[in-house]
Structure 1
Amino acid sequence: MKNIILAAGYATRLYPVTENFPKPLLEIGGSTILDRMLRDIDSIEGIDEHIIVSNHKFIAIFERWAVEARKRYRHPVTLIDDGSLTNETRIGAVKDLILALESRGVEDDVLVAAADNVLDFSFRGFVDYFREKGTSLIMCHNEPDIAALRKTGVVCQDEHNRVLLMEEKPQEPRSHWAVPPFYIYCRADLPLIRQAVADGCKYDAPGNLAHYLTTRTVLHAWPMPGHRYDIGDVKSYERIKEQFAKDLK
């Protein structure tokens, strides 16, 4: 299984902090956001490569980070430059994923994660559940706030966690199951992913791809067992830094 990290965003809501520095490499609690994620994923049996997609503006910063990172992790760390220089010319998360698949000639199952999230649980259970179900898999969590549901993917599922419907940013959410940007796509679905944009799949948000696949293949949903810390703006970043600094002490 390949681990593909989407890290090509510009985090404009965090300006000026991220105006000239990538959000995934911001420090929280003595570690970068990206390293927190990689430490966990690197320990999971079956993962054999980390593929990180950056934009051209920040690729040199990621390359400097990778010099030491490649010494820390068991598995190879590969960087891919998607060529974009500004938020206005970004190519979009789905195209970044397809770029990673094509650049590396990937034919394996893939764990896909947005690099700007802090979690208090492991991806190990997610991977185990994928192996149990044998289909592509999305993560979900209960979100009581309707306003928040209107800003994310929302999924409906049956009693066996099989996905029945997924909508991206619905004005009238049909459930309280929100979908964070973490997915596992099985190798059998890679041809669909490679064809998605040509078939009309929207490509800005990673959830667009999961929405596209729900009408073409079988997906299951895994309720996440902990919390995801969303670093959306400078205030939330400072608040989470303070919280993790206390935990570190």
Structure 2
Amino acid sequence: MDAIILAAGKGERLRPLTENRPKPLIPIAGKPILDHILERVESLVDNIYIIVKYKKEKIIERYKDREKIEFLEQGEIDGTGEALLTAKDYVDKEFLVINGDIIFEDNLEEFLKFKYAIGVKEVEDPKNYGVLVVKNDKIIDLEEKPENPRSNLINAGIYKLDSKIFDILENIGLSERGEKEITDALKILIKEKDVKAVKLKGFWSDIGLPWHVLEANKYFLDKIKRDIRGEIEENVVIKGDVIIEEGAKVRANSVIEGPAIIKSGSVVGPLAYIRPYTVLMENTFVGNSSEVKGSIIMKNTKIPHLSYVGDSIIGENCNFGCNTITANLRFDDRPVKVNIKGKRVESVRKLGVIMGDNVKTGIQVSFMPGVKVGSNSWIGASCLIDKDIERDTFVYKRDSLIFKKRVGE
């Protein structure tokens, strides 16, 4: 049996994190989403076909030497249905299909018992998902983002299918947004065949918004075990479950509270404070008297001194000037609002800055909660950033200095 992983989408709601990388490569608990998926599926199948399109070269480069994996490029038509159709001439008669932007714990073995199955998960607010109506473990209906959901069971983006789905996909039209949708084909399949509902065990998340990344990161960090292999200087305090990889260095008088991961090549300190649920990816630097809490700092980023980063996601190759501060909590303690595709959306109680790659800040720059900063932007000294910054932007302000001669006594 084979598996198809749909990894071609742009992930627009996750921008600026997806400006320079496809969504499946966003890191969670120290490794990309796609790594988490492959760990669940590799032992179950003979071949894995990853459907790529947006920023395809980055996925191919990372996984080109992995056994079982072959890459197929989606054509001009967008949509999950078209992505699946790309694999028509490659897979066995029966196969698994997995969305490339979900993260989950289930081992998927239950799916193998059925010819047709859809993974389902119970959620509190199903309005923003495909909602399934299930009777005696059989799916009898699928409604996409209904205003009045008929159940709390949603389509979790994992399927067991056979070649019949290709026949359906070839004979359906495009959706209102001009895409070929897998859900349109599933609605037909449900009417014609016995499609089982497989309730997923353990954690599951559709990584569609920036705070979903931090929530999943927190969950999987709670599963790690202490493993200290890097260089530790004098008077360093390490509490709880912390992974410090070989090649990382923690300099004198620093404090690290787990769960946390410090990847190879990273340098912490001296006098740095790494608080729980932080991941420092490869070759990062958190320097003298800087504090990082509940955040993901991506590769090659530097937070040298006297800075605070809380509940944030910072992209690759960023550099913070001295005393750069991210605010993460509103005065009224209400959920932080974030701009998502032109709409103000409530997120979570604590959320800092969501920053793309290659961003530089001058000294004494501050960010208000929930601000997004596009890639390749520069922010000049002493700026308070209270609104989103598009990519490739230079932000600065001009202060007038007044010089007067001192009057002698």
Give the match for residue 112 of structure 1: 97
Give the match for residue 61 of structure 2: 64
Q: Which has the higher relative contact order, 1 or 2, with Cα contacts under 8 A spaced 6 or more apart?
A: 1
Letter in 1 for 2:84: L
- The answer to whether the aligner puts 1:191 opposite 2:164 as a matched pair is yes
Equivalent residues, number: 222
- The answer to whether the aligner puts 1:38 opposite 2:18 as a matched pair is no
Give the match for residue 238 of structure 1: 214
Give the match for residue 200 of structure 2: 224
Letter in 1 for 2:79: G
**TM-score for both structures, normalised by structure 2:** 0.51
Deviations 1:83-104 (A, max 9, x none): 45xxxxx5110011011113x2
The structure whose residues are more often helix, as a share, is 1
5+ long unaligned stretches in structure 1? 85-89
Deviations 1:152-178 (A, max 9, x none): 11122222x122222222222222221
Shift of 1:79: 0.3
Give the match for residue 77 of structure 1: 69
Asked whether the 8 Å contact 1:181–1:206 carries over to 2, the reply is no
User: If you compute each CA radius of gyration, which structure gives the higher value, 1 or 2?
Assistant: 2
Measured in 2, the distance between the counterparts of 1:26 and 1:171 equals: 31
Shift of 1:201: 6.8
Q: Cα RMSD (Å) of the superposition?
A: 2.1
Map 1:104-183 → 2, pairs under 5 A: 104=90, 106-127=91-112, 129-130=113-114, 135-145=115-125, 149-159=126-136, 161-183=137-159
Letter in 2 for 1:15: R
Measured in 2, the distance between the counterparts of 1:140 and 1:7 equals: 20
Measured in 2, the distance between the counterparts of 1:194 and 1:95 equals: 12
- The answer to whether the aligner puts 1:5 opposite 2:5 as a matched pair is yes
Secondary structure at the aligned position of 1:155 is classed as strand
Letter in 2 for 1:165: D
Shift of 1:36: 1.2
Identity score, percent: 26
Give the match for residue 47 of structure 2: 49
Measured in 2, the distance between the counterparts of 1:171 and 1:215 equals: 22
Secondary structure at the aligned position of 2:38 is classed as helix
Shift of 1:9: 0.6
Measured in 2, the distance between the counterparts of 1:144 and 1:240 equals: 17
Secondary structure at the aligned position of 1:185 is classed as strand
Map 1:17-36 → 2, pairs under 5 A: 17-36=17-36
Measured in 1, the distance between the counterparts of 2:43 and 2:107 equals: 10
Measured in 2, the distance between the counterparts of 1:195 and 1:164 equals: 18
Shift of 1:38: 0.9
Secondary structure at the aligned position of 1:101 is classed as coil
Measured in 2, the distance between the counterparts of 1:83 and 1:201 equals: 14
Q: Structure 1 residues 192 and 54 mapped into 2: Cα distance closer, same or farther (>3 Å)?
A: closer
Deviations 1:194-236 (A, max 9, x none): 3334234745543332222112222111111222123222233
**TM-score for both structures, normalised by structure 1:** 0.80
The structure whose residues are more often strand, as a share, is 2
